[in-house]
Chains A and B, each alone.
Chain A
Amino acid sequence: MEVNPLNIFFVKSDSKGDRLLFRYPYTTDNKGENKQKKNGRLNPYAINSTEDLLQNPQSQTSNICKGQLSGFTDEMLSTLFAVKAELCNRKFELKVNDVRFVGHPTLLPYRTNKDDTAAMILINIVFALQASASHSIVKCYYDLSKRLGKALTHEEKRCSYLTEEMKIMLAAHDKISALDPELNGENDEDEENSRHSVSSTTFSTENGIDSIPKNAFDLILHKSSLAKSMKSVFEELSNTGIVQVRINNWVLLSFCLPHKAHQIHNRGLSVEPETIDKCVLMLRPYHGILLMVDPNDLLASIPLDGSPALLHLALTQAFQLTGHLVYWAKATVIYPLCEGNVYVVSPVANVHVHSPLVDEFAKEFPGLCLLQMLSEFSLPAPLWYVCRSGAWGARGGGRLARLVAWLLQRRLLLQLHTYVQFNSPHWPRNRHPNSPQEGKEYFCEKHDSYYQSSNISFSSLNQLQLNVPEPVEPRENIIIFPDSESNYPTQNNLNQTDFSHTKPIVIESDLTKYDTYSEADSAHHSFDDGVDVVDGLVKNGDFNKDKKKQANSVDSGISNNMNGNGDISDDKEKMLTSRLSDVSLKDTHSSDEDRFEGDEVGKKYNGLGNGIEKKGVSLNLKLQSEMSFQSPTVWTAPLGCDAIDACRLPPDPPSTESLLDTFTAEERAVLAKIPAADNPDDLLLLAQLHKKGYFRGEQHLEEIMFMENVTRSQLMQLLDKFKEVLITFETEDPAVAMLYPY
């Protein structure tokens, strides 16, 4: 595989010249192969190649032999990697035939043996890769080399670690070459191509640790901790793509090669860091995180000195954290599991009858067949429908949720969303000088303009926040937006406006309010999000509950989810989820019993989220439950309508006429013909949503519900009433689909 490294080299260059101090893996069977080659060439029956007429030996086209580097001697490599001082501390990239070497030559001061005068030494840790490896892979390896260089510089400064290790390595090289003086002679005779340094030629590899190893690299590996570190770097890269090495038992070097790491969970899935960056830019507050690993394992892998700041995350920080988790193949981005979600089989799902997934599935969910499950998802239907249609009612909805999570983790399912496009009589409406070529690009390059201009705001969000009742103690919440995070809605809005290539939506009347809001206490924020948390959870509880029908063991079912498998292990991000959940909540049912169930779940989820932060902050569960009991009062239908009303009647209420200005004359003419337009409420909602740019096919229904606090049924009614002008289409969320391997 081109992701794997071929070799790792450690080269130094100082006043005493350059030397390849260590490499891993060091070849042990070079000699035999060379002999064979030589024999082949001496075959008297071999036809001399016509190329010999040109006096030159056949040009070599490959330096990879059986997955190992070949054809390079250690001396040669050390000359190549010991770069001139001008090239230090910058990227070193050299491609020879089909091998690419990448490294970061580091120049650092070190103490020479006797006197304490500082001299400069150049070290270069070089990775050999297949030349076909993509640029982003090369970049990651370069980064790793740079980090290793930094770590060594630090350790050298702290305790002369490098000096000591180099002493060990040089001594080993000297010892071995002193042991086998005759070896040099033999090598010189061997003029063809086996000018291997003494060190890489081994006589016998059977030597145990106690006997004297004949290979200098063997000896170094036994004696030098740096060599051991490099070996483990190489091995971890080849095995998992995740490197956790402590240099000199002091500096922790954590590195992840996402191209490789994602293959642990999904064979054949290669996620490039650039994709993750793009995905993070497209993340919205309602997105959820689906952990790929057991939460306990994740906790165990977090270094102890993890920042306590993680407890109070701003939204952008939460996005970054998400990107981080995705990068490390610990999580993937999904839309939170809801009853209304529509899933289909992912176009790249492996549906081979003998795929290993089939067995894994059978182990995880005894009695079920993966392929049969997938065939149930072959027709797009909301989850609640799947749940009712199958035998799920009896078997328990928690299981279905767990199952969907499992399938999502393996990228077997893909969620479809409904997008709305306002059908104007005049296409194209946006007169932009888009050339056709540019137009074809859907995913724009990362523009700097993402971070420009911040005079955009969503009135609705502010209004929602103004709507919330008494603030609660912010410390108790898991996610708290600090006051500084004033651009929370702005950032997202920017995203979408940029992708839409349309004019940013500026709503002046709200701007001032927004500003004052951002200066206000953080309690609004925190409480609001606290509600979100609980709210999302209530939703989940409902979801499970609904499937269960009998209310007996929701609790255990869910704790299964959480503790046993961690399948639906939502993260903080998911906690952030969605005001929309209240909407679907209304859709289903809202008895007090359900609230209670939701509350139970809420506690568990919160507990988990808390655990992830590893802070052990005691959760005031009582408070939590109070909040979750509050939430229905805040978010049930009547109040939801209030919120809508608030949208419609902002402090400075826009007249119907001013809202209708968003439509052109032709559009108004078309609208006038629609009977539903006679109803001012419907028309106002349409105009409102249209003005905010929701009908450009950018935001799916769930997002509109989330942002504008409208119910699904309201939206569906609107879509139905205005179906002449509103076109819907179903497709995947690009932010989520980006992480799928197609």
Chain B
Amino acid sequence: MEGNSKFYEGCGQEGPIRCIFLCEFHPTAGPRITCQVPENYISKEIFDTVSHYIIPKVQLQRCTLTVTLLGSKILGFPVRIDNKKYARNAYYFNLCFVCDAWARTVHLEPLVKKLTEYLLSMELETEWLSKQSLSGDAKALSGLMRQVMQDINSRRMCTLTVGTTTTHLTVVRVNNDPAPVKDHQVPVFLYSRQSFVADQWDLTTNQILPYIDGFNHVSKIAALTDVEISLVRACVQNLVYYGVVTLVPIFQYCAVYSATPKLRQLTRCPGLQRQCVEFCARSPRQLPKVSDLFRMYAGMTYGSTIRDLCRRMKPQDLAINERKLVLFGVLEGLIRRVYKYPVTVHNDTSSVRSSHSACVARTYNGLVCMDELCCQTGIPVSLLEEQMERDSDVVFIVK
């Protein structure tokens, strides 16, 4: 509705709350808006067309309702209080947030629900809502709604105090559950450590935090901090959910990376170049050249390990820290890791022969990559590969 091509329906972005209104079922006038902030955002006509989604039938009470109509998205959580003291023996109300139709609103749903329950409890205790509605003077309510709208839009959190009661509202991003963390993965901060407020987090997280440096993998962190590995995994997974860290593959000189189509971005975007130069420098006094960095990334392809690349390019002479180079590339999506998967192939001929060696050779199902295997077994890659190459049933798939 902004006329901005960036915001179209389905763009998946969050938008501001445009309006908050409270509507109720008036004993004589039917559904009507008691109070809205800002005034007249939802006109009477629009409200009338959608009112039966806002004050719905009994079965839809206490359901999160979102209706997208006429360019707006209205979120509500209709509530009914049964009590003889009300006209018609019941009081219906619904506090609604209005957003643009293109905006994502899932993250606001718990907020609407919590705010409604806060109002509900105040209504039950002091008839806070119905009194204001009857008197026609809803200053307290509109003040509260204005505060919610302003604070949530600007700070994504809000603390409300009415009389002696206080409630806290905060917007929590709704993400899918992150995949389980594996032992060989390396957590790395997505933004600077300084901006991380440590006291918001639990003790275990605080304990492992200093060891999250983009190079230590999960099981190493567990060993260094003397924390149970499953706890480390859980903490890291939690941090991943909140977007504090992300997981990258472990750095090894025998690892293979491949450039992605995104790499050409490095040739165009000065911001990315500056970041890359600063990040990958061996020392801040001597910055590497972008062209050298690009050459390094361009040299990463299937079949060529970091070791080969370093021998060829000599990053130390170019003032490039190759570990950071790889980390930056993975984080920015300029390169991706190419994993090696051992797979045991059962040939008819070999099954006879392998019957005696079956007890020694383990089988590989193709789901576990070399990194993970090394981490599990604690055997270096070279040794493990040697073992596997002796077994003719094992083939390697690189992807």
Q: Give the size category of B's interface with A.
A: 35 or more
CB closest chain-B residue, reference A139: B10
**Given that A54-B124, A79-B57, A86-B49 are known contacts, is A434 also in contact with B270, CB under 8 Å in the complex?**
yes
Inter-chain CA distance A419–B261, complex, in Å, is 10
Query: Scoring B residues 4 to 46 as 1 if CB is less than 8 Å from chain A, else 0, what string do you get?
Result: 0110011010000000000000000000000000000000010
A97 at the B interface (CB under 8 A): yes
Contacts of A369 in B (CB 8 A): 345, 347
Contacts of A445 in B (CB 8 A): 5-6
A505 at the B interface (CB under 8 A): no
**Given that A351-B366, A439-B271, A440-B265 are known contacts, is A87 also in contact with B69, CB under 8 Å in the complex?**
yes
A16 at the B interface (CB under 8 A): no
Of the listed stretches B151-159, B224-232, B294-302, name the one at the interface; the rest are far from the partner chain: B294-302
B259 at the A interface (CB under 8 A): yes
Contacts of A436 in B (CB 8 A): 269, 271-272, 274-275
Query: Scoring B residues 265 to 305 as 1 if CB is less than 8 Å from chain A, else 0, what string do you get?
Result: 10111111111000000000000011100110111111100
B258 at the A interface (CB under 8 A): yes
- Which of B5, B53, B62, B261 is A60 in contact with, Cβ under 8 Å? B62
Inter-chain CA distance A593–B300, complex, in Å, is 41
B80 at the A interface (CB under 8 A): yes
B184 at the A interface (CB under 8 A): no
Contacts of B263 in A (CB 8 A): 697, 729, 731
Give the residues from 43 to 91 in chain A that come closer than 8 angstroms, CB to CB, to chain B: 54-61, 63, 71-73, 76, 79-80, 83-84, 86-87, 90-91
Inter-chain CA distance A55–B89, complex, in Å, is 13
CB closest chain-A residue, reference B363: A353
Contacts of A380 in B (CB 8 A): 301-303
Of the listed stretches B204-212, B238-246, B336-344, name the one at the interface; the rest are far from the partner chain: B336-344
A114 at the B interface (CB under 8 A): no
Query: Scoring A residues 129 to 141 as 1 if CB is less than 8 Å from chain B, else 0, what string do you get?
Result: 0000011101100
Query: Scoring A residues 479 to 512 as 1 if CB is less than 8 Å from chain B, else 0, what string do you get?
Result: 0000000000000000000001100000000000
B81 at the A interface (CB under 8 A): yes
Whether A425 lies near B399 (C-beta < 8 A) is no
Whether B271 lies near A435 (C-beta < 8 A) is yes
Contacts of B341 in A (CB 8 A): 351
Of the listed stretches B213-221, B317-325, B351-359, B390-398, name the one at the interface; the rest are far from the partner chain: B390-398
Most buried by B among A416, A428, A501, A731: A731
Of the listed stretches A148-156, A256-264, A285-293, A371-379, name the one at the interface; the rest are far from the partner chain: A371-379
Shortest distance between the CB of A383 and any CB in chain B (Å): 15
Query: Scoring A residues 401 to 424 as 1 if CB is less than 8 Å from chain B, else 0, what string do you get?
Result: 000000000000000100101011
Q: Could you tell me how many residues of chain A have their Cβ less than 8 Å away from some Cβ of chain B?
A: 89
Contacts of A55 in B (CB 8 A): 81-83, 124
Contacts of B347 in A (CB 8 A): 369
**Given that A96-B60, A351-B399, A423-B295 are known contacts, is A501 also in contact with B70, CB under 8 Å in the complex?**
no
Of the listed stretches A236-244, A340-348, A470-478, A649-657, name the one at the interface; the rest are far from the partner chain: A340-348
Shortest distance between the CB of B155 and any CB in chain A (Å): 22
Shortest distance between the CB of A22 and any CB in chain B (Å): 21
B260 at the A interface (CB under 8 A): yes
- Which of A57, A139, A378 is B397 in contact with, Cβ under 8 Å? A378
Whether B398 lies near A378 (C-beta < 8 A) is yes
A354 at the B interface (CB under 8 A): yes
A195 at the B interface (CB under 8 A): yes
Whether B343 lies near A96 (C-beta < 8 A) is no
Shortest distance between the CB of B289 and any CB in chain A (Å): 7
Whether A76 lies near B332 (C-beta < 8 A) is no
CB closest chain-B residue, reference A342: B302
Give the residues from 298 to 316 in chain B that come closer than 8 angstroms, CB to CB, to chain A: 298-303
Most buried by A among B9, B299, B397: B397
Whether B261 lies near A732 (C-beta < 8 A) is yes
B121 at the A interface (CB under 8 A): yes
Whether A353 lies near B270 (C-beta < 8 A) is no
Inter-chain CA distance A431–B267, complex, in Å, is 11
Shortest distance between the CB of A122 and any CB in chain B (Å): 13
| Chain A positions near chain B (C-beta within 8 angstroms) | 54-61, 63, 71-73, 76, 79-80, 83-84, 86-87, 90-97, 134-136, 138-139, 193, 195, 344-349, 351-355, 369, 371-372, 374-375, 378-380, 416, 419, 421, 423-425, 427-432, 434-440, 442, 445, 448, 500-501, 696-698, 727-734, 737
| Chain B positions near chain A (C-beta within 8 angstroms) | 5-6, 9-10, 12, 45, 48-50, 52-53, 56-57, 59-70, 77, 79-83, 113, 117, 120-121, 124, 258-265, 267-275, 289-291, 294-295, 297-303, 332-333, 336, 338, 341, 343-345, 347, 363-367, 395-399
**23 A-B pairs in the complex with CB atoms less than 8 angstroms apart:** A56-B120, A79-B52, A86-B49, A94-B53, A135-B10, A345-B399, A347-B336, A351-B397, A353-B345, A353-B363, A353-B364, A372-B395, A375-B396, A378-B396, A423-B294, A425-B291, A427-B273, A427-B290, A428-B273, A437-B271, A439-B269, A696-B267, A729-B301
